[in-house]
Structure 1
C-alpha cells in the first residue's frame, strides 16, 4: 500500500528516501521526540545501504537498541515546504518490528525515545504520513 500526501508545486524538490521502524511492545509503540515534534524511528538511506541495514543503524543511533524487522507495512511520500531545506519530498517506507536489547546510549542527543500508547500519539506525528502509518499498524496488526 502506498499513499501520497501534500500537493506538488511547480518547483524543484529535494527527494529523500528513508525507512522507518514501527516498534511494537504490547499496546505501546516506540517513537522519537525532538524539538521539532514526534517521529518514527529511522531516517535517510545511505549509499549502498539496504532497508534493513538503515533501520538497524538508525535504531542504534536514535534509541541505542538493536532492531528486529518483522516485515514491510506500507510506504508514503509527501510534498511539503521545509523551513531549512525548501521544497522537500520525503519518500518513506515503514516496517513493523521490535527493539530487542539496549546495546548503547543514543548517539542523537536531541532525540528522546518514548514508549507511548496509540491514543497518546494519535494525530501528533510531525508528518501526516507517519500518523497514517501508525493508524495502519493499530488497525491491521494491534487490534487482532
Structure 2
C-alpha cells in the first residue's frame, strides 16, 4: 500500500504527475541534497517521467539536468502520493517514486538555471521540503 499525503476531495479531477526522485545524503548522513526553485521552494532532485522512460532512466536524466552530475542509483525506497493544488490553483496528485542515490562524476553545467542545489540538514528538511512525501522518503532513507 502506498503512503498518501494530503486529502482527496471527492468529485475533483486531479491531474496525475508521476515523478522519480533521489534521496542523496552527504557522507555523515546528516544532510540531504535538495533543489531550490526560483520561488524559494525546496524539492528532492528528480522530476517527471517522459514517454517510455524507466524510473532509473528518468532519474539519471533529471539528476544530470538539475545537478550536472552522473549518479549511482541504488535502493528503491518506495512510492508515496500527495494531493495538492499547484501554484496556478490546479488540483494535482503527485505520484512519487523514491531511490537512494549518490553523485558520481560532474559531466556538465546544470541545465536548469532557476534551480539551486542546497544541502539541508535533515532536521530542517521537514520544514523546508514543499511536499510531505519527499520528507517521508528522506526519513525512509535515514532509517532504512
Q: Secondary structure at the match of 1:97?
A: strand
The residue aligned with 2:59 is: 55
Q: Which runs of 5+ in 2 are unaligned?
A: none
The residue aligned with 1:92 is: 96
Q: Secondary structure at the match of 2:34?
A: strand
Q: Distance in 1 between matches of 2:131 and 2:124?
A: 16
Deviation at 1:123, TM superposition (A): 2.6
Higher fraction of strand: 1
The residue aligned with 2:106 is: 102
Q: Secondary structure at the match of 2:127?
A: coil
The residue aligned with 2:32 is: 29
Choose from 70, 75, 80 the match for 2:74: 70
Q: Secondary structure at the match of 2:88?
A: coil
Q: Distance in 1 between matches of 2:102 and 2:2?
A: 22
Q: Is the 8 A contact 1:64 1:104 kept in 2?
A: yes
Choose from 117, 135, 140 the match for 2:139: 135
Does 2:126 match 1:126? Answer: no
Which stretches of structure 1, 4 residues or longer, exceed 2 Å deviation after superposition? 119-123
The residue aligned with 2:3 is: 3
Does 2:115 match 1:114? Answer: no
CA-atom RMSD in angstroms: 1.4
Equivalent residue pairs, number: 140
